[in-house]
Amino acid sequence: MSVMLFIIVLVASFIIVRIGAIAFQLTGLEWSLAKFQSLSCFSGTGFTTKEAELITGHPQRRRIATVLIVLGNAGLVTMVATVASALSAQQALWAKLSESFLPITVPAFLVPWVNLALIVIAVYVIYRVFTNRGIVKKLTEALRKRIVKREIFKPVSFEELVFVTGGYGVSKIEVCDGSGALNKTLSESGLRKSDITVLAITRADTTLPNPTADTKIILGDELICFGKLENIRNKVCSTT
């Protein structure tokens, strides 16, 4: 059972990291960054200060990171325990042999080494499967559809483009239905009072650089703003 449990936990770990990456992407992170953040949280390796601000400054991402960290620690402990169990010479011969799916004629002293070989082979095969682009793409699409359908994580319509210290940066964010800034001019929206500067507005295929204070914000506009990222999300995306 130890070898089988190790394989199950390893496969589950790859899937959990992929789900975490999808969840981070749905909160607005770019895909490559979402994958790195998910793996970092799950493995406990951490990330730089600027990247940490992307997680700590966003409530939904903090929840995702917390789950990944807890599951990552549990998975690591389980895998270490199962490997130690599989290599233990103290187990009864029949138990070792049944775990390894080996004939009963195999000498007892060889069983831990066969278990180790099975673990190494399993790690290699699973790694090859989960790094195959075709398989990973289909798995990712299937997981994303299920997550979105079940509304486990609500996707947001903004992309954080540039990040600086203190939680400030440049974001491109779509004006959604019910936004407090919808159908208001820039001066009426109160964005400047929230320390948000609109650098440009993308409307359909047209870009309006340096929009004036009397420019009206309409549904579907994409605002490229500089300011505190949390303020931008709350002021443009949230309803009032």
Q: What is the CATH number of the domain that holds 188?
A: 3.30.70.1450
Percent of the chain surpassing pLDDT 70: 75
Q: Are 181 and 200 part of one and the same domain?
A: yes
- Structural domain of residue 64, as residue ranges? 2-150
In the listed set 99, 132, 150, which residue is the last one of a domain according to the structure? 150
In the listed set 123, 150, 177, which residue is the last one of a domain according to the structure? 150
Is the pTM value of this prediction over 0.85?
no
List Cα–Cα distances, 88 to 6, 85, 93, in angstroms. 14, 5, 11
Q: Are 171 and 97 part of one and the same domain?
A: no
Write the CB contacts of 54 (distance below 8 Å, at least 6 apart in sequence): 29, 33, 37, 61, 160, 163
Q: Are 123 and 171 part of one and the same domain?
A: no
User: Per-residue confidence at 237, pLDDT binned at 50, 70, 90?
Assistant: low
Q: Are 118 and 178 part of one and the same domain?
A: no
Q: Which two tokens stand for residue 157?
A: 């319509």
For the chain, give the mean pLDDT: 78
In the listed set 150, 171, 200, which residue is the last one of a domain according to the structure? 150
pLDDT tens digits for range 41-79: 888 876 655 666 667 767 778 888 888 988 988 888 887
Phi/psi class of residue 81: alpha, beta or left (left: φ > 0; alpha: ψ in -120 to 50)? Answer: alpha
Q: Are 22 and 139 part of one and the same domain?
A: yes
User: What phi, psi does 107 have (nearest 5°)?
Assistant: -60, 145
Q: Tell the residue number behind the tokens 């975490």, with chain if given.
A: 20
Q: Are 126 and 172 part of one and the same domain?
A: no
Q: Are 145 and 162 part of one and the same domain?
A: no
Q: Tell the residue number behind the tokens 């002293």, with chain if given.
A: 109
Q: Are 93 and 129 part of one and the same domain?
A: yes
- pLDDT at residue 110, rounded to an integer: 67
Q: Are 116 and 211 part of one and the same domain?
A: no
**Distance from chain centroid for Cα 163:** 18
Percent of the chain surpassing pLDDT 90: 11
Q: Are 187 and 107 part of one and the same domain?
A: no
Q: Tell the residue number behind the tokens 């299937």, with chain if given.
A: 142
Q: Are 138 and 165 part of one and the same domain?
A: no
- pLDDT at residue 212, rounded to an integer: 92
Residue type, 132: N
Total domain count, the chain: 2
Q: Are 119 and 165 part of one and the same domain?
A: no
